[in-house]
Structure 1
């Protein structure tokens, strides 16, 4: 009975252990990522995106900090003074207490600062807007990078499979060539050619497998998984050509690219900085109030020798530095140069975006043409290899013919998958260049 009870408990413990997710690598191995899942996970895990969100928080705090400058500041001081002894002044007979406690409360309200406060606040608001734009820019870059890594991995998988198939085909042909040579049906050089080609194919397979492992590592790093975690992704072989004209792409980029919006905000900031540079052309006006309380005890509430324990005053101060040997004027010229630079940078960014769009458009169209050109040749290359194998077995073709046919087949398949996945990457880049990366995120190829 005790033995049965022990076995029952062990069985329960075994089930609990294996049902509890303590083996993350096994859980990761079972998950098959789609493109949409990859994009969502990349956005969730990306450190640059998290950092840009902290930039937003910092800019929001800076904006609130600048807004607080419009409000009055309040302060207080508490002072204790001890004299050597209590004494009476000879001139007016006023008694000076031995102990004196003084409390002073103050407030200061800026009334006019030469438009400095309002322009500083507007700059802080623009900085906040730029931080939000930067977050969106990073997000779109992550979306494109997820597309690129995903399709690069698919391409590496296909090329590795082609390399493995080439090794299998050439190995089978080498066996046939060996059998023929051993019975004297073919010369030795047929066998040697097959062996050399098999060695080359195995070397190509090693390269393809290494490229595949690198692509998997890039995928895992993008999603912040363990670098050697197993990767399973869903293949995407269907495609839809891009039908829009390049002028449409230019218009979309000028309308949607966040870099342009950010550069325009930088121009606005430079304009506000120029106004800040002119602040010293104006006087500043400040209102200040004080409340005083004095006494001979710690509560500062009057006492011997304290004639007026409570008092207050209000002061309005206007100040103006009207001559500083050209300091303000030179500062304004500096801000004018900064404004001109911001405008030049805006124009340069637009030019660079046009170039990015055109390169992406041409790469996409090139990949489209490559797909159309090579797709028709796939079945022909397969049939050519099959016929060459059959003719070799019938001694109607040479070993060189078979090896050439196999090389042609591998090259054709490689060209096709290169064209297919390069097209998908180029198209994703084109959408990013147009400022429409979110459409790729939504699965709108």
Structure 2
């Protein structure tokens, strides 16, 4: 019996098919190995490599330190507040100032007699006599302390200080902070160059091993086919039985070499994954092969690029700036520091001594003697500048040597690769001929095995030469400070 509440829903076939594709496509794609180009691998490294993240944080740190250095040009404003409670009232110990107070009382008394003596009937007394009489009389009296009737003393004030002249210290500090920020950026660039060079080499290793494994697999299949042919020939009593043993040994050796390179390929992929900081859950494949590209190089142009783009020289340039600013900082110690200041006092009436509401002024300070420390530090900063100059000259010579050696290495690797082309073609043709002769009963089994091994050896050597050629180019471009320049040659998706 049909359910009367149940409605008939007619789903079109196209809609059902589209829905199925939407549901199954993510599962299908997830299970596939996506080909990762070298450009994508490098972008992944730049985004996830922990070393790059570390130096990026250092750049951010120096940005804020540079902003902090700007604050030295602005006034410093502070709010000071406090509260003091006294166990008993303070007293002014007049015994230590009584003689001065007696003297002051005598002087006031003498001046009063001199001015108003006639009016009060003391016209016959001189001011000297009045002074002496009052001082002697006061001297016989005991010293009475003055009590300050206040045990709770709150204090609050706003102070502002504006540097006016510091001998160039603030400007030197700002330039030093800018140089440190630029140094952090250059160090980040250097780390990226190192990571890029490492990734390119490891990516090339994986591509090489992938092609080597493919070559080993072809040779292994050829050996298996030859083994089967030898077994059939033995059954037909065309060949002696020991020929099969040779073929089996050749198959075993080919299988061993194949397994060894497959394991090496997995290790190379692990190393590449480590450089990219890629989790194990991400499945990827590299390019199947990299074609040969002829590269025209201009040594002088490469050398000029190195002098402007090489991070080592850029770092020394910033060290030169910092050494100069350090010297300026040491010189500033021999000049006065001038600053304007101002203070606004609150709770004035509750203080034992009532200060002014506003205090403003200008203050200058200069060191006269501190044990020759500043003089020696100034001399040390001068020698630091000379040290940086010598380091720059040495680094320039080393960069020249590095670029030159990498340039020659590229030329040698290119020549070596070309020398393998003819060898591989001849070895391939030799294998074809010997295989055909054996199949027609005109050749020997050992000739086929030897030809297979010769082809395998020459093909692997050609692949290694191509890999070394691109590695040499990568090292050359890294030495001039542009490791990414090789990416278009290797290819990207």
Verify: 1:440 aligned to 2:486, yes or no.
Answer: yes
The verdict on how the C-alpha distance between 1:93 and 1:213 changes in structure 2, with shifts beyond 3 A counting, is: closer
- Secondary structure of the 2:324 match is helix
Unpaired segments ≥5 residues, structure 1: 296-301
1:176-197 deviations in Å (ceiling 9; x for gaps): 2333334443334432222222
CA contact (8 A) 2:197 2:478 kept: yes
- Greater Rg over alpha carbons, structure: 2
Partner of 1:322: 368
Deviation at 1:414, TM superposition (A): 0.8
Partner of 1:298: none
Inter-partner Cα distance in structure 2 for 1:230 and 1:441? 22
CA contact (8 A) 2:344 2:358 kept: yes
- Secondary structure of the 1:101 match is strand
1:303-351 deviations in Å (ceiling 9; x for gaps): 7x87847522224332222222321122123223332332232223223
The verdict on how the C-alpha distance between 1:186 and 1:132 changes in structure 2, with shifts beyond 3 A counting, is: same
1:332-389 deviations in Å (ceiling 9; x for gaps): 2322333233223222322332233223222322221122211223332222112112
Partner of 1:408: 454
Inter-partner Cα distance in structure 2 for 1:431 and 1:307? 75
The verdict on how the C-alpha distance between 1:442 and 1:282 changes in structure 2, with shifts beyond 3 A counting, is: farther
Partner of 1:426: 472
Which residue, 285, 288, 292 being the options, matches 1:239?
292
Verify: 1:55 aligned to 2:58, yes or no.
Answer: yes
CA contact (8 A) 2:290 2:490 kept: no
Verify: 1:389 aligned to 2:442, yes or no.
Answer: no
CA contact (8 A) 1:29 1:229 kept: no
Q: How does 1:266-415 map to 2 (within 5 A)?
A: 266-294=319-347, 302=349, 308=354, 311-415=357-461
Deviation at 1:29, TM superposition (A): 2.9
CA contact (8 A) 1:260 1:349 kept: yes
- Secondary structure of the 1:108 match is strand
Deviation at 1:157, TM superposition (A): 0.5
The verdict on how the C-alpha distance between 1:270 and 1:370 changes in structure 2, with shifts beyond 3 A counting, is: same
**Comparing 104-113 and 161-170, the one that deviates more:** 104-113
- Secondary structure of the 2:253 match is helix
1:228-287 deviations in Å (ceiling 9; x for gaps): 743223344333222123333222211322321221111111111122222322222233
Partner of 2:74: 71
Q: How does 1:228-267 map to 2 (within 5 A)?
A: 229-267=282-320
Verify: 1:40 aligned to 2:43, yes or no.
Answer: yes
- Secondary structure of the 1:100 match is strand
Query: If the length of structure 1 is used for normalisation, what is the TM-score?
Result: 0.85
1:110-131 deviations in Å (ceiling 9; x for gaps): 2222322211111001111112
Verify: 1:150 aligned to 2:153, yes or no.
Answer: no
**Comparing 94-103 and 81-90, the one that deviates more:** 81-90
- Secondary structure of the 1:226 match is coil
- Secondary structure of the 1:323 match is coil
CA contact (8 A) 2:164 2:340 kept: yes
Deviation at 1:87, TM superposition (A): 8.3
Q: CA RMSD in A?
A: 3.3
Inter-partner Cα distance in structure 2 for 1:68 and 1:189? 90
Deviation at 1:83, TM superposition (A): 4.5
Q: How does 1:108-147 map to 2 (within 5 A)?
A: 108-147=161-200
Deviation at 1:28, TM superposition (A): 6.9
CA contact (8 A) 2:293 2:489 kept: no
The verdict on how the C-alpha distance between 1:345 and 1:413 changes in structure 2, with shifts beyond 3 A counting, is: same
1:9-60 deviations in Å (ceiling 9; x for gaps): xx99x96995595x6x952734222232222222222222222221111111
- Secondary structure of the 1:397 match is coil
- Secondary structure of the 2:171 match is helix
- Secondary structure of the 1:317 match is strand
**Comparing 233-242 and 359-368, the one that deviates more:** 233-242
Q: How does 1:22-41 map to 2 (within 5 A)?
A: 27=30, 29-41=32-44
- Secondary structure of the 1:288 match is strand
Q: How does 1:158-237 map to 2 (within 5 A)?
A: 158-227=211-280, 229-237=282-290
CA contact (8 A) 1:221 1:227 kept: no
CA contact (8 A) 1:153 1:215 kept: yes
The verdict on how the C-alpha distance between 1:28 and 1:178 changes in structure 2, with shifts beyond 3 A counting, is: closer
Unpaired segments ≥5 residues, structure 2: 11-15, 95-143
Inter-partner Cα distance in structure 1 for 2:353 and 2:381? 55
